């Protein structure tokens, strides 16, 4: 599995943000701009907490295994792989959703004199922050589950036969 690329996530965030900003301008000109739900930052924050808790749990279990503690619980490789896949998917979705809410939030900055739009801009800002937390937690989870590198002397080539 390929490592998460921050450039790709940033590209998704920026592209979604620009499209969302343009869409919000168009939608508002029709008078039907939908609101930013309060649940958006809450759901993203919950996903970040789950990813972070999973990473902390796996890190502790891997450390116990490395130290060969007698009470160490093993880590199923498939469970670790599923956690990493969940982290990757969450990071991509968080980048997309954060970009959408970020673009909408930037548009809503023009309408801060309206109390309802000000609240939506705040919700959008918190959604972007929570999305960044999801991405950070996913990167941390990926680092925790990374396999040790091969010997640097072989530069990724198979070890010579003995």
**Confidence category of residue 1, pLDDT binned at 50, 70, 90:** low
**Confidence category of residue 106, pLDDT binned at 50, 70, 90:** very high
Dihedral over alpha carbons 14, 20, 22, 28 (to 10 degrees): -150
For residue range 109-121, what is the model confidence (pLDDT) as tens digits? 888 887 788 888 9
Query: For the residues of 86-101, what is the DSSP string, one character each?
Result: HHHHHHHHHHHHHHHH
pLDDT, residue 64, reads 77
**Domain locations in the chain as residue ranges:** 6-24+38-147
Burial-class residue 162 by CB neighbours within 10 Å (0-12, 13-18, 19+): exposed
d(CA 54, CA 75): 12
d(CA 67, CA 40): 41
Percent over 90 (pLDDT), the chain: 49
pLDDT, residue 161, reads 45
For residue range 118-160, what is the model confidence (pLDDT) as tens digits? 888 999 999 999 999 999 999 999 988 886 663 444 455 554 4
């Amino acid at each position: 599995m390929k490592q998460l690329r921050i450039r790709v996530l940033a590209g998704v965030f920026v592209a979604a943000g620009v499209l969302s900003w343009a869409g919000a301008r168009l939608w508002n000109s029709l008078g039907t701009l939908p609101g930013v739900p309060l649940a958006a930052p809450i759901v993203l924050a919950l996903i970040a907490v789950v990813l972070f808790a999973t990473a902390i749990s796996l890190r502790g279990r891997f450390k116990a295994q490395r130290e060969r503690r007698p009470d160490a619980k093993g880590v199923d490789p498939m469970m670790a792989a599923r956690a990493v896949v969940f982290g990757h998917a969450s990071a991509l979705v968080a980048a997309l959703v954060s970009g959408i809410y970020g673009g909408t939030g930037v548009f809503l900055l023009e309408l801060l004199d309206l109390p309802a739009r000000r609240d939506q801009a705040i919700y959008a800002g918190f959604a972007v922050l929570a999305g960044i937390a999801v991405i950070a937690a996913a990167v941390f989870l990926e680092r925790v589950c990374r396999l040790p590198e091969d010997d640097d002397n072989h530069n990724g080539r198979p070890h010579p036969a003995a």
